[in-house]
Amino acid sequence: MVRGQVAATLSKRAQKMQRIHIPGIIAMAAIVVASNILVQFLFGQWLTWGAFTYPLAFLVTDVMNRVYGAHAARRVVFAGFVVGVICSVIGTQIMLQGDGFTYPAVTLRIAIGSGLAFLTAQLMDVAIFDRLRDRSWWRAPLASTLIGSSLDTAIFFTIAFSSVLTFVEPANDVSWAGEMLPLLGTGPVVPLWVSLGFADWMVKLSLALLALVPFRIIVGYLMPRTT
């Protein structure tokens, strides 16, 4: 009888926790979908609009981690990963036309780079945040996001555009990304994809600092509701 009551209590708690996670999962899915769409539209010479939406994924992960713990944060990350994979699969089947060529909306290299970068960076974010959660309130979200964002940028742009990995998708010509140009138009001469990655990285670092404000507000709003 006692075991049955304990099992029922644990089951109710598990169901409650799953319901609590739903807003975070929905938010993460929305960010991933929006970023997959907006990454196709340029903002200036070195960025896409997706560079401004994707970093919000780290904010969602960190809020879930602070309020509900690392396990909940990982669930949200895996949900976002699944949505990202689905978006990538759909994108590879959508054919676009331009300059006399027909090409997929999402190439295999971009799909692989996006998926691996997202999963690796987000799980690293969760691990670092959990390690620093007992320090000053800003240390965990700032450190985890800075390291996670750096890892994300390095993995994605290397896999998607580096000439070293041409064998991954030989039919995909990314030679344009290897054009040697001054970094962001003014620095040392580097491949174009390095400038694109560097600009993306700087946006992520800037947003990591700005995100501390909504992080503090959202966590302050949610924490009393978890006790």
23 beta partners: none
User: Of 9-13, 51-55, 62-66, 69-73, which gets the smallest average pLDDT?
Assistant: 9-13
Report the pLDDT averaged over residues 14-42.
77
pLDDT at residue 226, rounded to an integer: 53
pLDDT at 190 over 90: yes
Higher pLDDT, 40 or 214: 214
Q: How far apart are CA 52 and CA 41, in angstroms?
A: 12
pLDDT above 80: residue 163:
yes
User: How many structural domains is the chain composed of?
Assistant: 1
CATH of the domain at 11: 1.10.1760
Range of the domain at 86: 2-226
**Given the DSSP bridges, would you call strands 42-43 and 95-98 parallel, antiparallel or unpaired?**
unpaired
pLDDT value at residue 5:
47
What would the mean pLDDT of 81-109 be, rounded to a whole number? 78
User: Cα angle vertex 45, ends 88, 178, to 5°?
Assistant: 70
pLDDT tier at 225 (50, 70, 90 boundaries)?
A: low
For 138-148, write each residue's pLDDT tens digit.
Answer: 999 999 999 99
Cα 17–Cα 20–Cα 24 angle in degrees, nearest 5: 125
Q: Which of 75, 93, 95 is nearest to 83 (CA)?
A: 75
Angstrom distance (rounded) from CA 55 to CA 149: 8
pLDDT of residue 100: 64
